[in-house]
Amino acid sequence: MTEDELNRCLEHMHFAFRNLVREPDRILAMHGLGRAHHRALYCIGHYTPSVGQLAKRLGVSNQAVHNTTRDLISRSLIRSQPDPENRRRRQLTLTPQGRRLEQKINGIQRDMFAAVAKIVGPAKMRAWATVMDTLASQPTPR
């Protein structure tokens, strides 16, 4: 691909992402939360991770996860409980209030994807998912 084509890919990504997060970011801001909280709520809601597992999935330090989870716990959006299989680990779960917020902000995004899927069709959505998965698994060039 030419540099112009690659730049256009970057523009598509930036503008699509901006549109995808605009409304969830607005809702989160009303709660004093940001994008790190959004990612944590999603992962906790869908994977019930330990703190270490959440840090690994998000690609951040345990300290960063602790700061985010501490904030979410203080707002009664998540719980931290001993993992029944390994009591030395803390398992993170959403509270009912946290589940409602997670469903609201991610529901907006799921609705956006569903609307686009109706327009472009399942084959193009699968191709797009392949591109995104490949981008996510690529090492960052230095």
pLDDT value at position 48? 85
107: amino acid identity, one letter: G
Query: For domain 15-136, is the CATH number 3.30.9.10?
Result: no
50 bridge partner residues: 91
Looking at residue 83, its pLDDT comes to 81
**Cβ atoms < 10 Å from Cβ of 133:** 10
pLDDT of amino acid 86:
82
Residue 142 has pLDDT above 80, yes or no: no
Q: pLDDT tens, 31-78?
A: 999 999 999 999 999 998 899 999 999 999 989 999 999 999 999 999
Beta strands in the chain (DSSP E): 78-83, 86-94
Average pLDDT, the chain: 94
Determine the Cα–Cα distance for residues 116 and 120; give it in Å rounded to an integer.
6
Identify the band that residue 2 occupies on the pLDDT scale cut at 50, 70 and 90: very high
- What pLDDT score does 108 carry? 97
Q: Which residue has the tokens 């994008």?
A: 35
